[in-house]
């Protein structure tokens, strides 16, 4: 996933802003105007007062408010915001005591800041007005808030105290609190309503009939009434197991139901934490399997490879355990040693790995004489922001060739993949076809290339090149822009969305598939290199890439 990041992380589009912010310094510190508990909802009045004060917005003293009831202590700030046209999102009545939503807060801020963008968005919940779409695009472009998923921004979710403080700090360019991670979790909260309810909810439990509902209800009723060991009846356990079984019935290795504890662990991983041995892992048919050992990690130094199966840790079998339980066995404190029982191509052997804190870099650039070697470890924010300037610097040095090394790169953000591909493809080139039940669209490059088309390019891949790595590789291969060297890639070509429920359990569900620009399937297939070179004790793949580029110079 990217989460999708990660692998699952979010499908984002860049938008050019037309005006600068009204102010760059807070007139009043954010912490002085928003003092509520982190998880408490922020009212409309509280947010208006806070944003007006921290931005130093003045004026509106003579404004005539159309609202019936405005608390006297809010009147000055409400008038200033109303005079600036920032309260249109609330309609004919302010209802200052009601909670403010994420979308409403963004509309207020972007109007007060005089910010605009193209009123185009792929988020299903941000299309009710051009004003809302603009506010969402500004927030995405400036990294004020992260969309809850690839198709839902989360505009109707209530803004919490922690989110509000983080938003205003980002608006002011101050960054967030050190531990403020709230807006970085790509989840959509699911709130249930019954038919006829007046609440604004994210999901109506009655919109689709539960399969065999009468049988399930009868089963539970019989168990509650007649099962002899009454003390062993556990309603939560029964419900969670039913949910797990429902998702397992899909037979999709990337779709998972997480109980609350497992959901917290998953969210920590998509926020950047990795296993103590430094490897990306997946549950494949009940077996913990390494997809990619991270570069210069304990796992890589111990010789672990993609598709290695971890079947036991410290003598304890992982068979029959949940994914989270298997991962917890592999994790451990820094400096401790994990004795892993590994199965590779049918053979079993033990490997000792010393756990460590893993910090994942993204970009590494070296030179082989006049050939630039650009290694990407993952597709994250640095790939989005830092790679293009570095590629421009490489182009200024007139390279005789470029090697893009994507070996053991597990992927990341789709937009980061688009940015990487844009260095080598004409503006407006297709990068990936995204196909879901709601339709199909093509992700395209938005910038001119940084590298001259005459500079030859080789892409290195192997079985650990997954997801966004495969998107870039396939796009360059389809466009005949690069020679692909190495081994067949992993074959991860799907998009996941994470939905969080009120009890903090969550669902990670595959919602779309990525295809290459020419429509070639990636999921379960991978990308076949133009020149197949197996991994060996020496780096024959790099040697082959350099030989190809030198041959092109003649």
Q: Which two tokens stand for residue 215?
A: 């049988």
Q: Of 39, 283, 342, 1, give the one whose Cα is nearest residue 162.
A: 39
Q: What are the structure tokens assigned to 127, written together?
A: 């299309």
pLDDT at 59 over 60: yes
Note the CATH number of domain 363-553.
3.90.226.10
CB atoms within 10 A of CB 389: 10
pLDDT in tens, 392-426: 999 999 999 999 999 988 887 788 899 999 999 99
Q: How confident is the model over 450-504, as pLDDT tens digits?
A: 999 999 999 999 998 998 999 999 999 999 999 999 999 999 998 877 787 878 8
**What proportion of the chain, given as a percentage, has pLDDT over 70?**
84
CB 503 within 8 A of CB 189: no
Domain locations in the chain as residue ranges: 30-190, 273-354, 363-553
Structure-token pair, residue 510: 């595959």
CA distance 145 to 117: 16
Q: Which residue has the higher pLDDT, 462 or 8?
A: 462
Look at residue 250 in the predicted model and tell me its pLDDT: 92
pLDDT-derived band of residue 541, with 50, 70 and 90 as boundaries? very high
Which pair of structure tokens corresponds to residue 90?
């609330």
- The larger pLDDT score, comparing residue 13 to residue 390, is at 390
> Residue 181 pLDDT more than 80?
no
Does the structure show a pLDDT above 90 at 283? no
Cα separation, 476 vs 11, in Å, equals 20
CATH dotted code for 273-354: 2.30.42.10
The residues carrying an active-site annotation are: 467, 478, 492
pLDDT over 80 at 195, yes or no = no
pLDDT at 391: 95
User: What DSSP designation does 271 have?
Assistant: T
Q: Which of 30-53 are b and which e, b meaning 16 or more Cβ less than 10 Å from the residue's Cβ?
A: beebbeeeeebbbbbbbbbbbbbb
Give me the sign of the Cα torsion angle 240, 245, 247, 248: positive
């Amino acid at each position: 996933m990217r989460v999708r990041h990660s692998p699952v992380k979010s499908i984002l589009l860049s938008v050019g802003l037309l005006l600068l912010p009204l102010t760059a310094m807070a007139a009043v510190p954010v912490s002085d105007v928003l003092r509520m508990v982190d998880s408490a909802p922020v009212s409309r009045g509280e947010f208006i007062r806070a944003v007006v004060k921290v931005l130093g917005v003045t004026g509106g003293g003579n404004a005539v408010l159309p609202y019936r009831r405005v608390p006297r202590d809010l009147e000055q700030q409400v008038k200033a915001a109303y005079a600036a046209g920032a309260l249109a999102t609330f309609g004919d009545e302010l209802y200052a005591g009601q909670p403010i939503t994420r979308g409403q807060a963004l509309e207020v801020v972007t109007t007060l800041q005089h910010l605009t963008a193209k009123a185009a968005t792929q988020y299903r919940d941000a299309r009710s007005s051009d004003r809302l779409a603009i506010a969402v695009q500004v927030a995405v472009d400036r990294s004020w808030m992260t969309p809850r998923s690839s198709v839902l921004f989360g505009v109707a979710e209530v803004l919490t105290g922690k989110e509000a403080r983080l938003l205003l700090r980002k608006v002011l360019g101050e960054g967030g609190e050190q531990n403020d991670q709230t807006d970085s979790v790509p989840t959509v909260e699911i709130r249930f309503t019954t038919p006829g309810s007046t609440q604004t909810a994210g999901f109506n439990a009655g919109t689709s009939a539960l399969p065999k509902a009468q049988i399930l209800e009868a089963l539970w009723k019989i168990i509650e009434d007649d099962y002899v060991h009454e003390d062993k009846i556990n309603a939560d356990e029964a419900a969670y197991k039913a949910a797990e079984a429902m998702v397992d019935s899909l037979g999709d290795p990337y779709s998972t139901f997480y109980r609350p504890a497992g959901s917290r662990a998953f969210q920590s991983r998509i926020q950047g934490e990795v296993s103590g041995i430094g490897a990306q892992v997946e549950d494949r048919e009940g077996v913990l399997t390494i997809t990619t050992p991270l570069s210069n990690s304990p796992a890589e130094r111990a010789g672990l490879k993609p598709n290695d199966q971890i079947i036991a840790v410290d003598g304890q079998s992982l068979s029959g355990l949940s994914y989270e339980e298997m991962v917890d066995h592999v994790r451990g404190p820094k400096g401790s040693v994990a004795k892993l029982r590994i199965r590779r191509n049918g053979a079993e052997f033990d490997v000792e790995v010393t756990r460590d804190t893993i910090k994942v870099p993204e970009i590494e650039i070296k030179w082989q004489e006049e050939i630039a070697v650009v290694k990407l470890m993952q597709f994250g924010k640095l790939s989005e922001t830092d790679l293009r300037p570095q590629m421009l610097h490489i182009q200024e040095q007139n390279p005789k060739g470029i090697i893009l090394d994507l070996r053991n790169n597990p992927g990341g953000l789709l937009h980061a993949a688009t940015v990487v591909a844009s260095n080598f493809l004409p503006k407006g080139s297709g990068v990936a076809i995204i196909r879901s039940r709601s339709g199909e669209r093509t992700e395209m490059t938005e910038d001119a290339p940084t590298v001259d088309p005459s500079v030859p390019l080789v892409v290195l891949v192997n079985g650990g090149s997954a997801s966004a790595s495969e998107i870039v590789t396939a796009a360059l291969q389809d466009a005949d822009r690069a020679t692909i060297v190495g081994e067949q890639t992993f074959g991860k070509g799907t998009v996941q969305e994470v939905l969080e429920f009120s009890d903090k359990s969550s669902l990670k569900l595959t919602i779309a598939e990525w295809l290459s620009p020419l429509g070639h399937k990636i999921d379960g297939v991978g990308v076949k290199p133009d020149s197949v070179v197996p991994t060996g004790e020496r780096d024959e793949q790099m040697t082959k890439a350099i030989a190809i580029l030198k041959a092109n110079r003649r």
